[in-house]
Structure 1
């Protein structure tokens, strides 16, 4: 006969451990070493049996006292002590009862199974993409979208049964949607649950199904949903419409409709957050002499005076001419970048006039050019 391990060692506790410490140690070891968690390793059957045996003795004050005094011989007839024997060690009791205490009736041992077959369940969410213009994103608008969604069948009102008939409770599972099976093993009875094969896990049987929904109680229909696109929405953002998704099951709430917004590009404007950017070309003379120019905005054209000698790359701001912030009164700004367009395809006369004009200028007319060469000269002299 193989030498038996010490029961205290098996549970990982000291000899003077309290009842509460024994109980906690047993629960922990049982969870870690249950055979169902290690289906590919048969050694866990023996480990679990060993843990159960140790707990049977140490959790009973009388057996524990005999074990502390005589060791295994005090509690196991096979060791010759015969002092009281081992109650229940022939089959180790009902393993289902033990596991129900350990795991609270979930997963192992076939503890109580919650009746979820006919419980209300929320419907699924639906995702759609809507494409809108740049201006609609800035200003907001009313929009419609067509979608296919699950709705309660109007003919059977969601029961799935044809008119004049009713839904019956499954006689095999009594409406639970699952059945419990118990298997006797050398180390006890192990119970498990599985979907009821008779009703397919629904807990009910429709003998005369509704011809419109074919017994499902729900059907997919096309629906047009109207909604508001808020002013200020940006590309890639999502609008959530609560309760506009698929209808629920067994009276559960409907899911939501998630609308992913795709904003078309604009030929003049780009957007950064709530600010708008645009580039505007001006003529050589407008830049040199200064001028009143027309600037497009999302609210229409506005006039703006650029100063004499405006350079390419100059940026000015139009305060409050950007995008309205969602659900707020504030707006972003518009930033306008100037670039000077150099004339091309000049006639000989035009070129001569420009040369004459250029000859009349001096370094003081080119501040940046003069500064550049002064810095260059200073660097070379150094």
Structure 2
């Protein structure tokens, strides 16, 4: 069998571009439509087979190491192209057989993913963000045509615009003609002799652009919002993919979320717990007035309706639930201690004694939050 490098007229360390140029030159000279002679047809088969082997990195490596010279492996006992046989019978249904159309240069762009960080307050009513996205956009120079100004793609002179070439291989069934993507035009049916200098013939370039996003109320960490058609533009000005925005909500120092409700803990002085009082706390969307009844206990929950989070799909806001934690003073001056002692004598409260088992304060608050 002839050496593939000698058939193409290139050195053994030739680059892929050099191999491709050599193949194109020989294929133009030997193509049956140009040179119908039987000798030229046989030579065309050799040139095509040599290019198939050397243009694929894996098959070229195997060939250089003395292994099989087929694109998919060895000769399979003299029946190289066994994979091509499989393609002959089954590939036609997928566009690889006779009459297959060339590939379109226009492709759908890839989807893109960006992340946005919100505060818990943004979740109550929703928020607006202008997001900077680094993505692919249509090349302004060629407007997606991939060509220099005043030029256009030309029909491939190897496959005559079909995007596929046929070759004959030996098989268990005899000589079989197979069809595969043209190596000269990569299956497009056309070549671009004068690619756009700005995008190098891709029809798109990398750029930063701003995407306006209205984030609905009720989102939570990990949720992904989909913006159809806002992703990367496709090759040759193909349609855009989608943009996905993943939300992360920063923790708040005073409030936490439980579904559509907001939870908070309020420390109440012992005297206020005994006598009751009025107070105002700062909510996520304005001040909230609270009435603390006399005799309130640690673990009691005060509910303020409609001051929670607007649900993702709905309009009725959740509630704000405030758990009470009564704070016992740890340092008393003599006068304060005397007052407490007098109070204890007059109240005649029973001394410490065993009672029904009580969970820890935070577990108790959690259970009460969920039960209210």
Q: Which has the larger radius of gyration?
A: 1
Partner of 1:105: 92
Stretches of structure 1 that go unaligned for 5 or more consecutive residues are: 1-38, 46-94, 374-382
Task: From 339, 362, 372, give the equivalent of 2:355.
Answer: 372
Paired residue for 2:303, among 297, 311, 317?
Answer: 317
For structure 2, the 5+ residue unaligned runs are 1-72, 357-372
2:210 is matched with: 224
Matches of residues 301-380 of structure 1 in structure 2 within 5 Å? 301-363=287-349, 372=355
The CA deviation at 1:236 is 1.5
2:28 counterpart residue number: none
What secondary structure, in the 3-state scheme, does the structure 1 residue paired with 2:347 have?
coil
Q: Normalized against structure 1, the TM-score is what?
A: 0.65
2:336 is paired with a residue whose SS is helix
Q: Does the CA-based 8 Å contact 2:229-2:241 persist in structure 1? A: yes
**1:184 aligns to 2:166 (yes or no):** no
Match of 1:270 in 2: 256
TM-superposition CA deviations, 1:289-320 (whole Å, max 9, x none) = 12222233222122222222111111122111
How many residues align? The count is 281
Shift of 1:217: 1.2
Quick check: 315-324 or 167-176, which moved more?
167-176
Match of 1:122 in 2: 108
State the 1:190 CA deviation: 4.0
CA RMSD across the alignment: 3.2
Paired with 1:220 and 1:310, the residues of 2 have a C-alpha distance of: 63
Q: Distance in 2 between matches of 1:276 and 1:261?
A: 19
Relative distance call for 1:371 and 1:362 in structure 2 (3 A) is farther
Cα separation, 1, equivalents of 2:123 and 2:108 = 32
- SS of 1:142's partner is strand
Kindly provide the CA deviation profile for residues 64-110 of structure 1, in whole angstroms up to 9, marking residues without a partner as x.
xxxxxxxxxxxxxxxxxxxxxxxxxxxxxxx96x986x6472479x6
Relative to structure 1, is the Cα distance of residues 314 and 125 closer, same or farther in structure 2, using a 3 angstrom cutoff?
same
Q: Please say if residues 118 and 250 of structure 1, whose CA atoms lie closer than 8 Å, have aligned partners that are also in contact.
A: no
Look up the SS of the partner of 1:173 in the other structure: coil
Verify: 1:157 aligned to 2:143, yes or no: yes
1:244/1:119 Cα in 2 relative to 1: closer, same or farther (>3 Å)?
same
Larger RCO: 1 or 2 (CA < 8 Å, sep 6+): 2
For residues 295-306 of structure 1, the aligned pairs below 5 Å read 295-306=281-292
